[in-house]
Amino acid sequence: MAEILDGKALAQKVRQEIKEIIAADPLLSARPPCLALLLVGDNEASTHYVALKAKMAAKVGINTREFALPAAVSESALVATIEELNNDPAVDAILLQLPLPAHINTPKMLMAISPKKDVDGFHPYNVGLLHMGLSGIQPCTPRGIMALLAEYKINVSGKRALVIGRSNIVGTPMAALLKRADATVTLAHSKSQNLRELIAEADIVVSAAGKAGLVHGSMLKSGAIVIDVGQNYGSDGTLCGDVDFISAEKKAAYITPVPGGVGPLTIAFLLKNALELRLGNDQEK
Ligand code: NAD
């Protein structure tokens, strides 16, 4: 039976560390990190995530400012709001909740955010640093997964890692971080022909496809490390990952559950990024 990689416990530990760092530092306590949360439209899931991020930030002593813009907002009005926040010295970090309405060019908006306030690490400047192996702000979910592997002292060096999904938010930065940690990385996606073979060869499988039941235990190499990023909702509203947990747990050495695996780490590392941006911007003054 696989050992469970407890993302919930690590997230709690990371949040506690952030809280202690802020409380112990007179400068941070006097002027806590400030995270601006930008929500466009009234997408139910996005509204929920923004509220959750604000709530978790408050718990660790990070201030938030929420901006709710109408779904019909123009690109120029959104850019103007972002630029105002870029130029506001009281704001350390900016989060633009995705997805954006179809009439808005998402990459253009992400590029409008100052790389020095880019809490999600989605600006091409930070993406470039990540792919060059240089220090910079890293996307929260992959960062959290690397921290989870480190927490369980799982060395990825030399291992064959398969990342399923190539989005800019999860799959692509995940592959980059695993490569940086010296894994031999394969990046699979919806056009990949031989997913079963790739899964069978992998020592580490990170599934970020958003397809329930994509990875079954029978496909896995015995002793594999299985990270399930997927968040899929059944018709009854229950949450499940991409991996069939019951069968995979029997074959894997380590596995993340859904819920309680990767999900909680994403917000914890968002808060850590916000703190790091506050500290980094301070050093430059
Ligand atoms: P996305 O839709 O942008 O990307 C999905 C990727 O999966 C694409 O690259 C696509 O090519 C690939 N894919 C789809 N079907 C496939 C298949 N059958 N075989 C191989 N590859 C396939 O999604 P995303 O934003 O990267 O998110 C992926 C999943 O992770 C979603 O379920 C999302 O809800 C979840 N997610 C979870 C967290 C978290 O904190 N746990 C954070 C972000 C995303």
> Could you write out the DSSP letters of every residue in 194-252?
-HHHHHHH-SEEEE-S--TTSB-GGGSPTT-EEEE---EE-TTS-EE-SB-HHHHHHH-
Ligand 1 centroid–CA 61 distance in Å is: 31
Q: Give the pLDDT of residue 88.
A: 98
CA 145 – ligand 1 centroid, Å = 15
Closest to 172 measured CA to CA, from 232, 113, 130? 130
Residue bearing the CA closest to ligand 1, atom 35? 230
Pocket test for ligand 1, best of 14, 46, 186, 189 (most atoms within 8 A of CB): 189
**Amino acid identity for residue 233 in this structure:** Y
pLDDT of residue 281: 66
Mean pLDDT of 93-110: 98
Nearest protein CA to atom 5 of ligand 1, as residue: 209
Residues whose beta carbon lies within 6 Å of some atom of ligand 1: 141, 164-167, 169-171, 188-190, 192, 195, 208-211, 214, 229-232, 262-263, 266
Which H or E run includes 183?
A: none
Q: Does the pTM of the predicted model rise above 0.95?
A: yes
Whole-number Å distance, alpha carbon 2 to ligand 1 midpoint, is 24
The pLDDT score that the predictor gives to residue 235 is 87
Residue 60's pLDDT is 98
C-alpha of residue 210 to centroid of ligand 1, in Å = 4
Q: How far apart are CA 143 and CA 227, in angstroms?
A: 13
Known catalytic residue at 191: no
pLDDT digits (tens, 9 = 90+) for 252-271: 999 999 999 999 999 999 99
Cα–Cα distance measured from residue 82 to residue 67, given in angstroms and rounded to the nearest whole number: 10
Out of 229, 240, 244, 265, give the residue to mutate to test ligand 1, the one with the largest number of ligand atoms within 8 Å of its CB.
229
Kindly report, residue by residue over 176-219, the tens digit of the pLDDT. 999 999 999 999 999 999 999 999 999 999 999 999 999 999 99
pLDDT band for position 284 (50/70/90)? low
Give the confidence band of 272 by pLDDT, cuts at 50, 70, 90. very high
Of 6, 92, 118, 120, which one is the catalytic site residue?
120
**Catalytic pick from 6, 53, 221, 228?**
53
How far are the Cα atoms of 117, 219, 223, 251 from residue 216, in angstroms, in the given order?
A: 40, 6, 14, 10
Q: Which two tokens stand for residue 250?
A: 């029997």
Alpha-carbon distances of 261 from 56, 120, 241, rounded to whole Å: 17, 19, 10
Ligand 1 atom showing the smallest separation from residue 209 Cα: 7
Nearest to 205 by CA among 239, 240, 174: 174
231 as an active site residue: the answer is no
Q: What is the pLDDT of residues 60-98, one digit of tens each?
A: 999 999 999 999 999 999 999 999 999 999 999 999 999
Residue 120 is a catalytic residue: yes
**Ligand 1 centre and the CA of 188: distance in Å?**
11
pLDDT of residue 44: 94
Q: What is the mean pLDDT of residues 97-114?
A: 98
Q: What pLDDT, on the 0 to 100 scale, is given for residue 73?
A: 98
Q: Report pLDDT digits (tens) over 14-68.
A: 999 999 999 999 999 999 999 999 999 999 999 999 999 999 999 999 999 999 9
Q: Give 222-233 pLDDT, tens digit per residue.
A: 999 999 999 999
Nearest-10 Cα torsion for 279, 270, 20, 27: 30
| CA-wise closest residue to 192 among 171, 176, 217 | 171
Q: What domains, with CATH codes, occur in the chain?
A: 29-114 (3.40.50.10860), 140-263 (3.40.50.720)
